[in-house]
């Protein structure tokens, strides 16, 4: 009996949910609606030019020629909002600002901070948002190609599982 009542309650819910246009937005059921705000990134503080100068300088000289070179990196942060009624996933990010761009997560491991690529995509829940912020999710920019000074902007393109491709203007600023 209780089962029957529950079933009926669920049926009632479903009925109402289907009958009423619950979301005023015109997206049909099962669509994400992604928007991005507050995109910013760390400056690289004169490191890029220095790095390139160093690389050129070391050409030809065999001493320490194969010494490990640190690339100049930065990270971009933003709020990814999904006003749609279906979840979506940030699968990848592209842009010409860096040699390699990955979606990363910083987490604690044995009391240490480590970061890892989120290989299977960052889930953006329906009617929710995900904040990319320091010591959490970030878009890792490895091998930044030009120096990023506070006030500079650059473009990134966010590629979602739904097929949505969203361009973002990122502003460089001090954290």
Residue 143: name the closest of 102, 93, 91 by CA: 102
Site residues for other proteins, 147-166, by CB under 8 A, read none
The answer to whether residue 116 forms part of the interface with other proteins (CB under 8 A) is yes
Q: Which residue has the tokens 């690529």?
A: 117
The answer to whether residue 29 forms part of the interface with other proteins (CB under 8 A) is no
Residues whose CB is less than 8 angstroms from the CB of residue 102 and which lie 6 or more positions away in sequence, other chains included: 93, 117, 139, 140, 142
- Rounded CA gap, 80 and 92, in Å? 14
The answer to whether residue 70 forms part of the interface with other proteins (CB under 8 A) is yes
- Rounded CA gap, 68 and 86, in Å? 45
> What CA–CA distances, in Å, run from 164 to 4, 104, 161?
42, 20, 7
Cβ 11 to other proteins shortest distance, Å: 7
Span from 28-36, 37-45, 88-96, 163-171 in contact with other proteins (CB under 8 A) = 37-45
Cβ 60 to other proteins shortest distance, Å: 18
Cβ 20 to other proteins shortest distance, Å: 8
Residues that bind other proteins (CB under 8 A): 1, 4-13, 15-17, 22, 42-43, 45-47, 50-51, 54, 67-75, 100, 104, 106, 109-117, 127-129, 134-135, 138, 140-142, 174-175
């Amino acid at each position: 009996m209780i089962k029957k009542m529950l079933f009926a309650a669920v049926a009632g819910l479903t009925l109402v949910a289907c009958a009423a246009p619950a979301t005023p937005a015109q997206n049909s059921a099962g669509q994400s609606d992604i928007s991005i705000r507050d995109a910013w990134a760390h400056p690289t503080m004169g490191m890029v030019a220095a790095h390139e100068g160093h690389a050129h300088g070391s050409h030809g000289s065999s001493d320490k020629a194969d010494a490990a070179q640190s690339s100049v990196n930065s990270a971009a942060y933003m709020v990814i909002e999904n006003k749609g009624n279906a979840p979506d996933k940030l699968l990848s990010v592209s842009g010409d600002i860096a040699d390699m761009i990955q979606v990363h997560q910083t987490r604690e491991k044995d009391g240490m901070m480590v970061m890892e690529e989120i290989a299977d995509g960052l889930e953006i829940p329906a009617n929710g948002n995900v904040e990319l912020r320091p010591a959490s999710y970030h878009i890792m920019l490895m091998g930044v190609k030009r120096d990023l000074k506070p006030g500079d902007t650059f473009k990134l393109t966010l590629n979602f599982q739904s097929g949505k491709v969203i361009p973002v203007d990122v502003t460089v600023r001090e954290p």
